[in-house]
Amino acid sequence: MVEITCLSASASKIKLPEFAKEFKKAGFESLLVKMFEKTRESMISLTGVDVGKFQHDKEMLFPMLFSYHENGKKGCVLIDLIREIGTPTTIEITCFAGNKNSLFKLTKLIKDILIQQIGFEKKQIFNGTVRELLKSRTLNKLVNSPQGNLINNITPECLNAFLDKKMREKLRQLVIGPFLGRFFPLSIVGPSLELTEDDIKKLGSLGIFRIGYTAYCSKCEEVASGQVIFRSPEEVEELLRRKVTWCATCGTSLDTKTARIELVCSVSDMGRALTQGLWLEAYVKSIIEKSIAKDNIRASVYHGNDELDVVFLDLDTLDVIECKDKTVGLNDMYVLTMKAARLKADNAFLVSTRKISKDVLSSMKDEDRFGFMSMTGDVKTIKRALEKHIGKMRENFKRSRLQQLAEIVLPFAFPDVERFLARQRWYRHTRRLRY
């Protein structure tokens, strides 16, 4: 069964109670009730498109529809498109309104009717298109990797430390350089990385460093291996005073003479993961979070055996992003291709802090299973590119929904106000006949 219903009502400037009245007057409410009575088992996908921007577009799809609005007859025009697509058990309702405010009111109103009057349960109503609904199932199948759990604990302040390239290089030394993740006195780490004690303490408060006091063997001139790190120097002093500890390297019994108390630091597990590239995933995620609901974003997850850096769903587009804080090779491209294809992603992105060679990029030229894009450069360039992509995707979505609307509804739509009123009469007539 394919049902196409259109109704034009006003929404933009009137208040919700008035709008609800209009809605009732047009018979739309009872129509909805009747229509859904038999389909209570269905899942309802409720989505909205704010067409406001297109109103003044010279190539707009519905000149009359919007001129109706412009003539100031009754605020903006909304059309409702109800039809069954995608799955036999999902009904899609798309609301169109002139601006976000009206759209919000309209979708809320329809949702209320579906729940309060028809008896749908809240969980049966999904805010999004059917495609989005199907894709969100894919998203919900993704499982967090150990790093995925870590990424959710990264604070904006912590991430911020990694957006400075120089700081990143310094911190990398702690993981790949001579420090190798062991504890060293601040007096050695600081000058070596050109960090002040305050810098290190700040990184400590952000969770990037682990800082504490320990016994430092004066003979070996290093942190006696196996030593516990304490929060206060008093605790170490107590340990040395009691002479209950010794250096596992040289065997010296450690006391206040053979050892001294040092403030030492080491990179934390989180700091290590961030340094090894997790910061870029966290950064990409933080950019996307500004325009997409957190529920629709996953970072560091498994899809079967594939490890995916960032996956997000916007409207009805599923995107996968591979983040590389290192040189990208042909093999990386191949892996990304396979992962994106298995996920049935719409777009695959490669975000890299390094320039990608033309050879590597051209290997993606013939890929037609999904859109491919690469974003390279410093953090600002990556941010701009991602934001631009999301904005473009939204505009495309609006255009395609309007196009869809045009194809399905336009034959019934309104070339002028008279036809529009006739359409409303027809609509009331068929309502009596068919429901």
Q: Which residues contact 158 (CB under 8 A, 6 or more apart)?
A: 206, 207, 208, 270, 274
Q: Which tokens go with 235? A: 């605790």
Q: How many CA atoms lie within 13 A of 64 on its CB side?
A: 13
Please identify which residue in 55, 160, 249, 286 interacts with Zn ion, judged by CB under 5 A.
249
Q: How far is the CB of 246 from Zn ion (least distance, A)?
A: 8
Angle at 316 between CA 57 and CA 53, to 5 degrees: 15
- Using CB under 5 A as the binding rule, the residues of this chain from 194 to 223 that contact Zn ion are 217, 219-220
Q: How far is the CB of 361 from Zn ion (least distance, A)?
A: 54
Q: How far is the CB of 244 from Zn ion (least distance, A)?
A: 16
Q: Among residues 192 and 249, whose Cβ is nearest to Zn ion?
A: 249
Q: Among residues 262 and 325, whose Cβ is nearest to Zn ion?
A: 262
- Using CB under 5 A as the binding rule, the residues of this chain from 218 to 237 that contact Zn ion are 219-220
DSSP string over 83-110: EE-SSTTEEEEEEEESSHHHHHHHHHHH
Q: Rounded to the nearest 5°, which phi and psi values hold at 43?
A: -100, 135
| CA distances in angstroms from 311 to 110, 314, 394, listed in the order given | 30, 10, 17
Q: How far is the CB of 192 from Zn ion (least distance, A)?
A: 21
Q: How far is the CB of 210 from Zn ion (least distance, A)?
A: 22
Please identify which residue in 228, 244, 250, 330 interacts with Zn ion, judged by CB under 5 A.
250
How many residues of this chain interact with Zn ion, rule: CB under 5 A? Answer: 6
Q: Report if residue 351 touches Zn ion, rule: CB under 5 A.
A: no
Angle at 191 between CA 190 and CA 194, to 5 degrees: 80
Determine the Cα–Cα distance for residues 220 and 201; give it in Å rounded to an integer: 26
Q: Among residues 243 and 388, whose Cβ is nearest to Zn ion?
A: 243
Determine the Cα–Cα distance for residues 140 and 123; give it in Å rounded to an integer: 15
Q: How far is the CB of 237 from Zn ion (least distance, A)?
A: 18
Q: Among residues 200 and 247, whose Cβ is nearest to Zn ion?
A: 247
Q: Among residues 85 and 220, whose Cβ is nearest to Zn ion?
A: 220
Q: Which uninterrupted H or E stretch holds 80?
A: strand 80-84
Q: Among residues 113 and 261, whose Cβ is nearest to Zn ion?
A: 261
Cα(first)–Cα(last) distance of the chain, in Å? 13
Q: Report if residue 247 touches Zn ion, rule: CB under 5 A.
A: yes
Q: How far is the CB of 218 from Zn ion (least distance, A)?
A: 8
Residues near Zn ion, by CB under 5 A: 217, 219-220, 247, 249-250
